[in-house]
Every structure is written in structure tokens, then in C-alpha cells.
Amino acid sequence: MPGQSITNGLTIDVEDYFQVSALAPYIPREQWDLRECRVERNVDRILLMLEANQTKATFFTLGWIAERYPRLVRRIVDDGHELASHGYGHQRVSDLTEATFSADIELAKKLLEDISGQEVRGYRAPSFSIGEGNLWAFDCLERAGYRYSSSIYPIHHDHYGMPDAPRFAHRVRAGLLELPVTTARFFDRNWPASGGGYFRLLPYALSRWLLQQVNQRDRQPAIFYFHPWEIDAGQPRITGISAKTRFRHYVNLQYTEGRLQRLIADFKWGRVDRVFLDSPLAEPVVKQ
């Protein structure tokens, strides 16, 4: 495929279906332990898919998950993937104070490192919830010992987004490296090109074309993300949710795994730390 000379960052946000921010109004946090947990089987399927394609990735993992499923964490590391932090309890940074955010990211980092025996260098905010109103979060991450963040989505969205942020790797406060998830720029606007619900909604050919534009036109590595629950069409259906939330969460779940297999074959992928931190060409160049 054209563009395979560039290695892109493949990322998985390790959380279960009942921990999604959009479902928070319907599933109280204190009920999480009462829900059927499906994350282990779904991560196992992802690991087998990556192994079959000889592909490495970065797993941004919740401390809540790691605490309950340490075998999952150890298998990720044993298979040669990067273990990174998604915080402890999947709380949006925009809902936390500086003190409670620091406590969350420090607890998650310690749990993940104690279980895996490896340093955790990366962090991704739940729901890309770092924006103009809470840039202090980068100072907290630097103090906690993180090397990079992948927490900004430079698009307009009703739940998140920082559309005026740089589209590619750049240094932020305290010198932390921020790696925004990927957008393609057309008509003076950034368009989502990096996974999640957009990947499930859009035709695969369009998603592939958008990523090709980033590799070929911008000559930049992309960062793509998905969740384990997005390959699980058999997950329990949550009742009483709004039509908009139902559509966003369940659209095309049955097709996601097949699309991911095509995506992995069509592009060159690697761990985020090796693409952006350990490469001799990793020093970021800000490019809109």
C-alpha cells in the first residue's frame, strides 16, 4: 500500500462497555463491579489479531481494569506491546480538580508499573478531556513522571475537542510531549481520521483514504485508536439510553473487527513510544 514507509501509532483504550463516558448518566460508578465484565476476552481477541499480523501497539489501560485483571496487563507486556495509562477510574479531566487529577494519574501509574514491572511513560485522558480550560493537567502529568500525553483531539465535538490545537506532535507546558489523535485538514477545518465511532460509522474506504492523506500529503505518522468493546457485538444492551447515545455506542459493532484487520494490513503500525519517543527522528515538528 502507498504510504507504508511511515510507521503509525496504533492504540487501544482499555476500558469496558459500561465505563464509556456517554453511558455515565445511566450506569452509576458504584455499579461497575455488578456488571458483566467482558474486557478480558475482548483484549485477548485483539492480542491474537495483532500477533497474527506481527503488529505491536500501545494499550492505554485503566487502573480500575488493571487492579481487577492483572493477567490481562501482564499478557499485554509479555506480547511486546507498550503499556500506558488511561487514568484510574475513567473520570474526565474536566470534571476533576488539580489535586484529584494528580491522585488519579499517580495511582494508575503505580498500579500499572507494579503489575507489569515496566515503566509507564504515556497517558491518554478519558474522552480526550484536556482542553483550553485545564492545561494545568500537563503540569500534573510531568510531575507524576509521564513522558508523553495523547489527550487532545483537535476537532469540534459536543463532548470534547480543541480545534485550534496543533494537529501533530508538539511540546506543551512543562515540556511534555503531546501527541494529538489524527485529523485530516480540508476546507480550513480538521476532520476526524483516527478511529472510535467515526471509524465504525464511515465506510472503510473513506477512513483509509483520510489516513493516507496524513501519511502522503502531510508526511506525518498517524495515531489511531479503538476500544475493546468496539469488537464485541454481543455486549449487553443498556436500556433507557437516548437514541443519540444508542446510535453512537452500537453502530456497526459487528463490522469493526473485520475493518481493523484490513486497517492493520493496509498501513504500517507500531507502539507509540517507539514511533514518537525512541526514534532518532522523533523530535516533533509542529505542523497545522
> CA 109 → CA 119, 168, 188, distances in Å?
8, 25, 38
CATH code, domain with 235: 3.20.20.370
pLDDT in tens, 119-154: 999 999 999 999 999 999 999 999 999 999 999 999
Residue 286 lies in a domain: no
- pLDDT tens for residues 56-92? 999 999 999 999 999 999 999 999 999 999 999 999 9
Q: What percent of the chain has pLDDT over 70?
A: 93
Query: Residue 29 contacts by C-beta under 8 Å, 6 or more apart in sequence?
Result: 89
Give, in degrees to the nearest 5, the angle at Cα 51 between 201 and 280: 90
Q: Alpha-carbon distance 72 to 69, whole Å?
A: 6
288 belongs to a structural domain: no
Specify if 35 maps to a domain: yes
What type of residue is 153?
Y
Domain span holding position 169: 7-277
The pLDDT mean for the chain works out to 93
Nearest CA-CA partner of 226 in 44, 13, 39, 37: 13
Q: What is the pLDDT of residue 3?
A: 45
Domain membership flag for residue 73: yes
Percent of the chain with pLDDT strictly greater than 90: 89
How many domains in the chain?
1
| 279 vs 256, residue with greater confidence | 256
Does position 14 have pLDDT exceeding 80, yes or no? yes
25 belongs to a structural domain = yes
Q: Within a domain: residue 227?
A: yes
With a cut of 60, say whether residue 287 has pLDDT above it: no
